[in-house]
């Protein structure tokens, strides 16, 4: 079911509280929460409008959800809107993570806390590994794309080449190669 | 502004503009800068901070807040967070007004599709670097493999898996 976007634009207060809930409840990937709030609950954008805005933010660099918050706020209320949405999204999580960091600095010396953190860190690596495998899977039957991914992996992961050079060399090369030689 | 804050601002502003395909792709570079170049912390500490940011609510890139805070207190946390987020936000706002002109253009789709393999390689590099650091013992490595399979195959909430991993660690069986 596609819900239409409602006609009246949200107020700054609504923008702030909307993104505040996304920031607080968005564990392990905030985007699904943001979509639910923006499209289904508050109906600021229709499904296709949200998809289009997300496409812009995925096309450009940067953390996608944070770009979405700024773009959406700007669309409804200009600069104050962009700053309101950004602050709503980031304020609570920043306070929480600094509090957790302070707590960790206090109790991080105890062996049981160190062991718990060793487990947590391994779990978090598994999360990134799962993400990597998920986005790598579609390249399985595309030899050229797979080859570029492997070379990028070697450059960034094994040879530890600075990212700036990796992006400057591999991104244009990949775009040109795939555009010309992949069908 | 002292040198540390300037370094934080420069590093994260660059990461912000190089994060093609979202936040995970800059993980290897963040680790390289924070651990190998600036020597602000060990690879283990970096992995712990990244884990804390994953387990806490909010965007994963809050790891920048945590690192900034650890390196230079409250001002460090603010500088790192804003440098991580605002360069790309400003770019997004600048492009959003002309987006409709090239949204459906062929070159736009070719560029976006062309970046995907690079993103995959970068995220995989970040995953391997993290795993190499966190899998200090054989039981930890085995748990990482099992947890990866759970993340891939089941619909279990990620927080439950992370909590179980922390509990297993606290129980001492991974040592």
Across chain B, mean pLDDT equals 93
Confidence of residue A176 (pLDDT cuts 50, 70, 90): very high
CB contact under 8 A, B140 and A122: yes
**Looking at the structure, do residues A101 and A116 belong to the same domain, yes or no?**
no
- Domain membership of residue A3 (yes or no) is no
Domain boundaries, chain B: 3-109
Across chain A, mean pLDDT equals 91
Task: Specify the pLDDT at position A28.
Answer: 63
Lowest-pLDDT choice from A143-152, A153-162, B47-56: B47-56
End of a domain among A107, A127, A147? A107
CA separation for the pair B132, B146 (Å, rounded): 16
Give A52-110 as a DSSP string.
HHHHHHHHSSS-HHHHHHHHHHHHHHHHHHHHHHHHHHHHHHHHHHHHHHHHHHHHTTS
- Domain membership of residue A121 (yes or no) is yes
Structural domain of A55:
12-107
Q: Which one of B25, B41, B58, B163 would you mutate to disrupt binding with A, by most A Cβ within 10 Å of its Cβ?
A: B58
End of a domain among A107, A122, A150? A107
**Looking at the structure, do residues A43 and A127 belong to the same domain, yes or no?**
no
CA separation for the pair A128, B130 (Å, rounded): 8
**Looking at the structure, do residues A82 and A153 belong to the same domain, yes or no?**
no
> What's the pTM?
0.92
**Looking at the structure, do residues A76 and A148 belong to the same domain, yes or no?**
no
pLDDT at A5 exceeding the cut of 90: no
CB contact under 8 A, B120 and A149: yes
**Looking at the structure, do residues A17 and A98 belong to the same domain, yes or no?**
yes
**Looking at the structure, do residues A88 and A120 belong to the same domain, yes or no?**
no
CB contact under 8 A, B118 and A29: no
Confidence of residue B157 (pLDDT cuts 50, 70, 90): confident
**Looking at the structure, do residues A173 and A125 belong to the same domain, yes or no?**
yes
pLDDT at A18 exceeding the cut of 80: yes
End of a domain among A89, A107, A125? A107
Q: What is the mean pLDDT of residues A162-177?
A: 95
Q: Name every chain A residue with its beta carbon within 8 A of the beta carbon of B172.
A: 112, 115
Long-range contacts formed by A176-179: CB under 8 A, 24+ apart: A176/B114, A177/A144, A177/A148, A177/B114, A178/A144, A178/A145, A178/A148, A178/B110, A178/B113, A178/B114, A178/B117, A179/B110, A179/B114
Contact B169, B162 (CB under 8 A): no
Q: Which residues of A117-132 are buried (b: 16+ CB within 10 A; e: fewer)?
A: bbbbbbbbbbbbbbbb
For B29-60, write each residue's pLDDT tens digit.
999 999 999 999 999 999 999 999 988 888 88
> Would you call A8 helix, strand, or coil by DSSP?
coil
Task: Specify the pLDDT at position A9.
Answer: 87
User: Which of residues 71 through 110 in chain B touch A, CB cutoff 8 A?
Assistant: 74, 77, 81, 84-85, 87-89, 91-93, 95-96, 99, 103, 108, 110
Q: Which two tokens stand for residue B101?
A: 């002109």
**Looking at the structure, do residues A91 and A136 belong to the same domain, yes or no?**
no
- Domain membership of residue A55 (yes or no) is yes
pLDDT at A33 exceeding the cut of 60: yes
For B19-29, write each residue's pLDDT tens digit.
998 888 999 99
**Looking at the structure, do residues A103 and A119 belong to the same domain, yes or no?**
no
Task: Specify the pLDDT at position A2.
Answer: 56
For A38-59, write each residue's pLDDT tens digit.
999 999 999 999 999 999 998 9
Give me the number of domains chain A comprises. Answer: 2
User: Residue B174: which of A97, A118, A145 has the nearest Cβ?
Assistant: A118
Q: Which residue of B has its CA nearest to A152?
A: B121
**Looking at the structure, do residues A19 and A54 belong to the same domain, yes or no?**
yes
Contact A130, B102 (CB under 8 A): no
């Amino acid at each position: 079911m596609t819900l239409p976007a409602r006609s009246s634009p949200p107020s700054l207060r609504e923008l702030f509280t909307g993104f505040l809930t996304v920031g607080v409840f968005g564990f392990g990937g905030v985007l699904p929460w943001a979509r639910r709030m923006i499209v289904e609950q508050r109906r600021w954008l229709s499904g296709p409008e949200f998809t289009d805005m997300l496409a812009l933010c995925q096309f450009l660099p940067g953390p996608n959800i944070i770009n979405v918050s700024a773009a959406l706020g700007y669309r409804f209320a200009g600069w104050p809107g962009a700053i309101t949405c950004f602050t709503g999204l980031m304020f609570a999580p920043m306070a929480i993570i600094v509090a957790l960091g302070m707590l960790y600095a206090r109790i991080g010396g105890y062996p049981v806390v160190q062991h718990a953190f060793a487990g947590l860190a391994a779990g978090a690596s598994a999360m990134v590994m799962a993400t990597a495998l998920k986005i790598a899977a579609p390249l399985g039957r595309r030899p050229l794309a797979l080859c570029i991914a492997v070379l990028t992996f070697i450059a960034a992961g094994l040879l530890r080449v600075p990212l700036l050079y990796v992006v400057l060399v591999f991104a244009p090369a990949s775009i040109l190669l795939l555009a010309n030689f992949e069908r | 502004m002292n040198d540390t804050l300037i370094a934080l601002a420069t590093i994260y502003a660059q990461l912000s503009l190089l994060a093609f395909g979202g936040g995970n792709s800059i993980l290897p570079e963040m680790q390289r800068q924070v651990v190998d170049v600036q020597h602000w912390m060990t690879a283990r500490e970096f992995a712990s901070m990244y884990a804390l940011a994953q387990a806490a609510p909010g965007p994963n890139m809050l790891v920048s807040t945590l690192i900034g805070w650890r390196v230079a207190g409250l001002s460090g946390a603010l500088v790192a967070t804003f440098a991580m987020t605002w360069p790309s936000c400003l770019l997004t706002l600048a492009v959003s007004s002309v987006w409709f002109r090239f949204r459906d253009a062929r070159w736009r789709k070719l560029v976006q599709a062309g970046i995907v393999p690079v993103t995959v390689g970068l995220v995989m590099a970040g995953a391997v670097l993290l795993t190499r650091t966190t899998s200090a013992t054989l039981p930890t490595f085995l748990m990482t493999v099992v947890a990866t399979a759970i993340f891939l195959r089941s619909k279990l909430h990620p927080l439950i898996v992370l909590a179980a991993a922390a509990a297993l660690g606290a129980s001492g069986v991974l040592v």
